[in-house]
Amino acid sequence: MSDINRLALVTLPSPNLSLETVRHLERYQPGGVVLLKQNLVTIEQSQALMADLKSILGDGVLIAIDQEGGNVWRTSFLPSAPSAGNLGVSNDPDLARAIGAEIARGMRSIGANWCFGPVLDLSNNPLNPVIAERSFGANPDAVAQLGKAWLEGLQQSGVAACAKHFPGHGDTHQDSHHDLPKVNKTLAQLEMMEFAPFRAVLEGVASIMTAHIVFPAIDPDLPATLSPRILTGLLRESLGFAGAIVTDAMNMGAITAHWGRGPAAVQSLAAGADMLEVFGSLTDQIETFYALERAITQGVLTKTRIADALERRDRLARTYPASQLEQTNANPKLMVEAWQQGIARTGNPRLPAPNSSVAVILAPDNPGGSAWESALNGADVLTALRRVYRVTPIWLEQSDPLAAVALALEAKTNHDALIYVSSQAGRMTSPARDALSQIQPDLHLALWNPYAVADVNAPALLTYGLTAESLEALVRELNSRS
């Protein structure tokens, strides 16, 4: 195999390397891995996994994690950082920088050297199913300032940052994990909004991740990941970005349903990407590796193009080596305090007094979503609220939302307050929204998607994420009753 496989970042099927996986890595020699929650069980196991990867793939291996904060958080054994949306409420660049540094220390404690964050997409579409609280906000200047501070803290602490998803995934109503979205804006609109946060970090950020989205004003036919006009013409030549360009996961529906894994990988490198996220089974990965080899043999990918990509890949690895720190992330206090600082309020909510009797409407299950792997459920929320109130739960089943409404109407007569909790990544379904319109809760706790506040006629507290640390921050906020 040629060096082209070093432009691939692969996933692993389990927390520990099986003999089959070891032989796969030894034979194909990818340039790095992207670790998911399934690979990161404990700090000791994660450290051992990193050591194994370095022994097989060399000291120059790239070990990447989607460690954005909030519910895009792969290491359950490390305290979760606030989401970008939560930090956007605080609007404190110094805090964002401190959080970035803390994320880096946690990653380096297990030997990882590349963080797929920050998200620089704008939160400017309430129907977006995959960005929402992952964004610092809707204002491009604020997103740029906070994102730049966050990545500076990360990189100054020894972990490469990756701004995503270029040119912008915020103003879509489809999830590129499943569909092929389009952003139908003029070039002038894109320049003013979507491009602005990326432009602000071009000189400092180590890498940028592409979006599987079509921007007809630039390229009417191809998503950014496959478009020479966007990756080479816009990002390299017009904007002058000199760092590494990495694709989003190449197994996402936006790509595989239209172009296929192997052909899309070749097309992306030809368009100007430097590295590919080759997700999927070992068999799926081999399909991509052979497509890349054929492309070299057939002259579809030139030696110059591959050499340029390898140079950027190796520069990234040299600048941010996968070296392990002795200390671990030892500052959970900072995380909880930051989460609490970023709790937002709408509609001037009046908080029930601690130890009062409250009825709480909440969903028992949490399906999570395509980008999220970390999701608590209704039982976790209930346990937290019982640290503040005497709680009567009313379980909202999507199959029969009217049942919860009947119980809630009765509960309003014999409880001090009625609280509705939205604790899922997605928005409320129409039947549930119609059913709940028959009552008016005294308080809405929007614990994940901030746009959920539009689904319920009630004043609200918003946390912008649902993790153990965000629930601890919520408990403190409710106990303060300020």
Q: CATH code at 313?
A: 3.20.20.300
Q: What is the pLDDT of residues 255-287, one digit of tens each?
A: 988 899 999 999 999 999 999 999 999 999 999
Residues 19 and 121 in one domain: yes
**Mean pLDDT, rounded, for 166-172:** 90
Is residue 275 located within the same domain as residue 380? Answer: no
Q: How far apart are CA 77 and CA 98, in angstroms?
A: 20
As a whole number, mean pLDDT of residues 309-325 equals: 94
Does residue 48 sit within a domain? yes
Q: H helices of 325-429, where?
A: 332-341, 378-385, 401-411
Is residue 163 domain-resident? yes
Question: Given this model, what pLDDT does residue 336 score?
Answer: 97
Report residue 206 CA to chain centroid gap: 18
Which pLDDT score, from 0 to 100, does residue 174 have? Answer: 67
Q: Give the pLDDT score at 50.
A: 96
Instruction: Tell me what percent of the residues of the chain surpass a pLDDT of 70.
Output: 97
Q: 329 pLDDT band (50/70/90 cuts)?
A: low
Q: What is the total count of domains within the chain?
A: 2
Binned at pLDDT 50, 70 and 90, residue 196 comes out as very high
Are residue 266 and residue 356 in the same domain, yes or no?
no
Rounded mean pLDDT of 450-469? 95
More confident residue, 224 or 436: 224
334 belongs to a structural domain:
no
Q: Which residues make beta-bridge pairs with 360?
A: 393, 419
Residues 106, 250, single domain; the answer is yes
The pLDDT confidence band at residue 417, using thresholds 50, 70 and 90, is: very high
Nearest to 197 by CA among 236, 241, 235, 147: 147
Catalytic residue ranges = 177, 248
Q: In this structure, are 258 and 364 located in the same domain?
A: no
Looking at the structure, tell me whether residues 181 and 309 fall in a common domain: yes
**How many whole angstroms separate alpha carbon 226 and alpha carbon 230?**
8
Can you tell me the mean pLDDT for 379-387?
Answer: 97
From 280, 304, 319, give the residue that closes a domain.
319
Token pair recorded at residue 2: 């040629």
Q: What is the pLDDT at residue 130?
A: 83
Please report the beta strands in 363-451, taking only residues with DSSP state E, as ranges in sequence order.
Answer: 390-395, 417-422, 443-446
Same domain for 421 and 315: no
The residue among 319, 351, 378 that closes a domain is: 319
Both tokens of residue 470? 């965000």
pLDDT at site 182: 92
- pLDDT (tens digit, 9 = 90+) per residue, 289-316? 999 999 999 999 999 999 999 999 999 9
Please check whether residue 112 lies inside any domain of the structure.
Answer: yes
Tokens of 75: 């290491």
Is 250 found in the same domain as 380?
Answer: no
Classify residue 327: in a domain, yes or no: no
pLDDT tens, residue by residue, 130-158: 899 999 999 999 999 999 999 999 999 99
Per-residue pLDDT band for 181 (boundaries 50, 70, 90) equals confident
Identify the CATH number of the domain in which residue 406 sits: 3.40.50
338, part of any domain: no
The answer to whether residue 357 sits within a structural domain is: yes
Of 319, 351, 386, the residue that ends a domain is 319
- The answer to whether residues 123 and 85 touch, using CB atoms and an 8 Å cutoff, is yes
Q: Say whether both 309 and 379 belong to one domain.
A: no
pLDDT (mean) for 441-462 = 95
Tell me, yes or no, whether 311 lies in a domain: yes
- Residue 188 has what pLDDT? 96
- Note whether 380 and 286 are same-domain residues: no
Contact criterion met (CB below 8 Å) for 319 and 243: no
Q: How far is CA 444 from CA 297, 417, 453, 456, in A?
A: 60, 11, 7, 7
Q: What does the pLDDT read at residue 178?
A: 75
> Is residue 348 located within the same domain as residue 292?
no
Exposed e or buried b per residue across 117-137, where buried means at least 16 C-beta atoms within 10 angstroms of its C-beta: bbbbbbbbbeebbbbbbbbbb
| Host domain of residue 454 | 343-480
- Tell whether 201 and 347 lie within a shared domain: no
